[in-house]
Amino acid sequence: MSRKHSADDPAALQAAVAGFVRAFGLHQTETTPCGQPISVSEAHAMGELAQDGELRQVELTRRRRLQKSTVSRLVGQLTGRGWVERAQAEDDGRGVVLRLTPAGRQAAQNLAEARRERFARLLDSIPAHERAGVLHAFDVMREAWDGDR
Residue 134 lies in a domain: no
Q: Which CATH number does the domain housing residue 92 bear? A: 1.10.10.10
Residue 85 lies in a domain: yes
33-67 per-residue burial string, b: 16 or more CB within 10 A, e: under 16 = bbebebbbbbbbbbebbbeeeebebebbbeeeebe
pLDDT of residue 2: 47
Is the pLDDT at 110 greater than 80? The verdict is: yes
User: pTM for the whole thing?
Assistant: 0.79
Residue 135 lies in a domain: no
Residue 85 is part of which domain span? 40-127
How much of the chain exceeds pLDDT 90, in percent?
A: 47
3-class SS at 55? strand
pLDDT of residue 90: 82
Residue 15 lies in a domain: no
Residue 122 lies in a domain: yes
pLDDT band, very low/low/confident/very high, at 1 (cuts 50, 70, 90): low
pLDDT of residue 104: 96
pLDDT of residue 28: 74
Domain count, the chain: 1
